[in-house]
Amino acid sequence: MQTVSVKGSIRLDRFLKWAGMAGSGGQAKVIIQSGMVKVNGEKTINRGKMLNQGDEVSLEDSGIFRVVYGAGEKE
């Protein structure tokens, strides 16, 4: 499991870009809407889902990424 440091709550689509799982917002949208993303073990197609400290995001074939608060993405 990898940890990804962000400054606070973050949208799922922005998190995928920040963590390097998507190269652009458009790519993040396609990945999420394809049903390949799970948040805390549950599939989601909601790209606006807000992630908080301790949430776990998994993408098929990319592993699990845990959200942690700290220095990271700008608000």
Map out the domains of the chain as residue ranges: 2-69
Instruction: Give the integer Cα–Cα distance in Å for 69 and 6.
Output: 5
Instruction: Give the integer Cα–Cα distance in Å for 13 and 39.
Output: 12
pLDDT average, residue stretch 21-50: 96
Instruction: Give the integer Cα–Cα distance in Å for 55 and 10.
Output: 11
Residue 46 has pLDDT above 90, yes or no: yes
Residue 60 has a pLDDT of 86
Q: Which amino acid is at 19?
A: A
CATH hierarchy code of domain 2-69 = 3.10.290.10
Residue 73 has a pLDDT of 54
Tokens of 33: 């809407």
- Answer for the pair 4, 54: CB distance below 8 angstroms, yes or no: no
Instruction: Give the integer Cα–Cα distance in Å for 63 and 72.
Output: 20
